[in-house]
């Protein structure tokens, strides 16, 4: 088996196979997470077999493909539910669940997420990254 200096092409028995960096694999996986995307379509665009992309998705969910180089900050506003006009929220999304001590409620134009009790920080981060793109 031979490798080029850049480490991008592996030659085995005359067949060429491209090796992807963690960043490339993560970007391909993140493309599959966008609305309307499918693993088969994304894999085809990048010349990768769908089963390979499924494997990368498992690695991504386990946090083994690293994190993006930059982390975006999300603006946060803490308000009393009675002061923010619960009627407007109820008109858009139905009645809001009762807030419990230690509850986290996140509202965007696309979704409303409620976390009650002890929240795993990595789980909350993953949900926020998915919602905010």
**pLDDT for 32:** 92
Q: CB-based burial of residue 56 (10 Å sphere; 0-12 exposed, 13-18 middle, 19+ buried)?
A: buried
pLDDT tens per residue across span 65-94? 887 555 566 677 666 655 555 555 555 555
pLDDT at 2 over 50: no
CA distance 26 to 127: 17
Q: How far is CA 7 from CA 10, 19, 21, 59, in A?
A: 7, 7, 10, 21
Fold of 2-61: Arc Repressor Mutant, subunit A (1.10.10)
Mean of pLDDT values over 31-49: 93
Model confidence, pTM: 0.43
Say which residues have a Cβ less than 8 Å from residue 130's Cβ, sequence separation at least 6.
33
Mean of pLDDT values over 115-131: 74
The dihedral over CA atoms of 7, 43, 28, 63, expressed in degrees to the nearest 10, equals -90
**pLDDT for 91:** 58
pLDDT at 45 over 60: yes
User: What's the chain's length in residues?
Assistant: 133
pLDDT at 27 over 70: yes
Query: In which residue ranges of the chain is CATH 1.10.10 found?
Result: 2-61
Task: Report percent pLDDT > 70 for the chain.
Answer: 59
Cβ 73 vs Cβ 95: under 8 Å: no
């Amino acid at each position: 088996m031979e490798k080029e200096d850049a480490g991008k092409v592996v030659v085995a028995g005359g067949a060429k196979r491209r090796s992807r960096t963690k960043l490339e694999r993560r970007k391909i996986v993140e493309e599959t997470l966008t609305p309307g995307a499918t693993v088969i379509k994304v894999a085809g665009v990048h010349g990768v077999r769908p089963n390979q992309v499924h494997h990368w998705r498992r690695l991504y969910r386990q946090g083994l493909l690293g994190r993006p180089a930059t982390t975006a900050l999300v603006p946060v506003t803490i308000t009393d539910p009675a002061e923010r006009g619960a009627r407007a929220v109820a008109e858009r999304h139905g009645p809001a669940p009762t807030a419990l001590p230690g509850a986290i409620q996140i509202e965007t134009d696309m979704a409303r997420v409620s976390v009650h009790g002890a929240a795993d920080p990595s789980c909350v981060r993953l949900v926020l990254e998915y919602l905010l793109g």
